[in-house]
Structures are given as C-alpha cells and as structure tokens.
Chains A and B, each alone.
Chain A
Amino acid sequence: MSDIGKVRLRVPSSIKAGDVVQVRALVIHPMERIERDAQGKIVQKNYNYINKVIVTYLGKTVATFDTTQNVAENPFFTFTFKATDPGQLKVQFLDTTGGRYEGIADIKFS
C-alpha cells in the first residue's frame, strides 16, 4: 500500500488563545496483527505496527501514546492541548520497522 504513513490532522477552524483544543490525528497504517500457523503457534517475526505516537506543540511534548497491536488498522487518535501561542503542532508516528511519519498543523488564532 503506497498510502502508508499518510497523516491527517484535524484541528478546529477557529481557535482562540487559551482554548483547550481537541485534535484528531489519523495515519494510514496496516497495524499488522499476530499471525498463527496451522498448529496455533504464534509466528515470531517483527510485526509492523505503530508503537509510539508523539505529540509536540511549540517544541514541547504534550502527549505520547505507547500502543500495541490492539489498536485498529489506520489508527486514529484524539487528544487535547492548550493553545497558548501560535505555532506548530506536530504529531509523529513511529512504527516497529523504523518508519517515522509525521503531520504538522499550524496553530493560528482568529
């Protein structure tokens, strides 16, 4: 799938200074599940799934998600942050194969 790693961030259209803003972040990712062989034994391999999501705002970490394979395919995460100054909101997704995908939203006040 060539779409792997596509990140979409959804930020409210109008933000006022001091607001607590709720953001939805979506990433296209297969989040491979555990496979079993015919005997029911777990196949040992390096499964490709996202195990860390890091949210930074103005260079400071706001929230991190440590995830396991129990998160659905094309995972979507919701979180909040307090908008104090205009600046950059960055969401990074790290997967077990070393992949690193990121989405950036510019926070502006209106």
Chain B
Amino acid sequence: MTEDHRISRRTALITLSALGVAAAGGLAAMPGTAWAQALGQNESVEDAMKRLFGGKPMRDGAASVKLDVPLIAENGAVVPISVSVDSPMTPTNYVKHIYVVADKNRIPVVTRVTLSPEAGRAFMGANIRLGESGDVRAIVEQSDGSLLAVKREVKVTVGGCGG
C-alpha cells in the first residue's frame, strides 16, 4: 500500500464517518467519535485508568454493582459479561457511564456505555475478548460524578485477542 493511497483512503473514511454521524441525526457529536478512537489504546491498565479517571477516588461498589462474568472462560474470544447497578435511574440520580476494563488485555478498555435515565435500569451486557487470565473491572460513573469499582478475576483457558 503506497503512502498517498493510504492518506486518501483515510480522508475518505473520515468523510464517510462524518456523514454517517450527521445522518444519525446529530445523536453522536464528533468529539464522541474522537473519544471512541482514543478509548482503545495500546497501554497498561494503570495508564488507562489514569487517562480515563485522573486521580479521582474510587469507592468499592460491591454493595450496589453486580458484575457477572464467568470464573473460568474456556474461550477467551467470546466471554459473556454483564453489569447491573442498583440505581433509581431518575433524572437527578442515575448511572451515567459503565466502563468495562480487562487488566491483561493489550487494549485494556473494552467498552464504555453511556446511559440515560430513559434506560430504566442500569444494565449492560456484551460479549468481550480476554487475552489471558486476569482481573476484569467494571467502573460505574454516577450522575454526580462519583465512581464505583468492582473487579473479578477470570481464568482464561485459550486467549482470544490474537496477535
């Protein structure tokens, strides 16, 4: 692939994605898209936490956050995970973000879910990849900015992150 070909391709892609976002009715602002790209970086989990949350204190969320992930994942390529949070989900008190972070993955941040009070319940589920055995964390950011964290160790038999 030649250099100028790559640039033109990238420009085309940026234009396309901008169009896609515009077509989505302005639901996703462009900064959001840039964020999503910055979300997945090749870094250590400490760096990722520092980048996402700064030095904000985190409370143990074991009482209200339920992280559901298998203890042993035979196939790291598909690991079902779900997070549910005890929250009234009213416009004044709701769960704003749920982050899922896998400590041992090369890109530790797996997903960031943004919820609105219309969701009714603070819940998310997804199938994720885990490279090797290690902690999986769920970090919940509430509408008042406070952070709750829970983590669980998952043993992975066959890693699923490839190269």
Residues of A near any B CB (own CB < 8 A): 20-22, 24, 33-36, 42, 46, 51-52, 54, 56-57, 59-82, 92, 94, 96-100
Contact = CB atoms under 8 A, between A and B. Distances in A.
Interface in B19-68: 19-21, 23-25, 27-28, 32-33, 35-37, 39-40, 42
A65 B77 CA distance: 19
Nearest to A22: B123
A24 B80 CA distance: 13
A interface, by DSSP: helix, strand, loop or mixed?
strand
B116 A20 contact: no
B69 interface: no
Interface in B104-163: 105-107, 109-116, 118-121, 123-129, 160-163
Contacts of B125: 24, 76-79
A61 B27 contact: yes
Enumerate the 3 nearest inter-chain pairs by beta-carbon distance, A residue then B residue, closest first: A98-B16, A78-B125, A68-B40
Nearest to A77: B126
Contacts of A67: 36, 110-111, 126
